[in-house]
Amino acid sequence: MDALTPAELTAIGLSLKVALTAVACSLPFGIAFGWLLARKRFPGKLLLDTVLVLPLVMPPVVTGFVLLIAFGARGPIGTFLRENFGIVFAFRWTGAALASGIMGFPLMVRAIRVAIEAVDVRLEQAAATLGAPPWRVFLTVCLPLAWPGIVAGAMLAFAKALGEFGATITFVSAIPGETQTLSALMYGMMQVPGGESGLWRLAIVAVAMSFAAVFCSEWLVQRQRRGDAA
Q: How many other C-beta atoms can be found within 10 angstroms of the C-beta atom of residue 35?
A: 21
Residue 94 Cα distances to 83, 158, 166, 203, angstroms: 17, 15, 16, 24
Residue 1, pLDDT above cutoff 60: no
What's the confidence (pLDDT) of residue 227?
A: 63
Write the pLDDT tens digit of every residue in 74-102. Answer: 889 999 999 999 888 989 999 999 999 99
Residue 106 Cα distances to 25, 51, 81, 223, angstroms: 14, 9, 25, 22
Contact 17, 179 (CB under 8 A): no
DSSP string, 1-16: -PPPPHHHHHHHHHHH
What's the confidence (pLDDT) of residue 213?
A: 83
Write the pLDDT tens digit of every residue in 162-198. Answer: 889 999 999 999 888 889 999 998 888 888 777 677 7
Residue 228, pLDDT above cutoff 80: no
Q: Which helix H or strand E contains 185, and what residues bound it?
A: helix 182-190
Q: Identify which has the larger pLDDT, 201 or 99.
A: 99
Average pLDDT over residues 8-12: 91
Q: Which CATH architecture has domain 6-223?
A: Orthogonal Bundle (1.10)
Considering the chain, what percentage of its residues have pLDDT values greater than 90? 50
| Segments in 58-165 forming alpha helices (H) | 60-71, 76-85, 93-117, 121-129, 134-137, 143-163
Nearest to 164 by CA among 3, 14, 4: 14
Average pLDDT over residues 17-37: 95
Distance CA 41, CA 20 (A): 32
Write the pLDDT tens digit of every residue in 40-76. Answer: 999 999 999 999 999 989 999 999 999 999 998 888 9
Residue 26, pLDDT above cutoff 70: yes
What's the confidence (pLDDT) of residue 158?
A: 92
Angle at 215 between CA 209 and CA 216, to 5 degrees: 95
Contact 76, 70 (CB under 8 A): yes
Write the pLDDT tens digit of every residue in 135-149. Answer: 898 999 999 889 888
Residue 96 Cα distances to 24, 165, 175, angstroms: 14, 9, 11
The reported pTM is: 0.88
What's the confidence (pLDDT) of residue 229?
A: 58
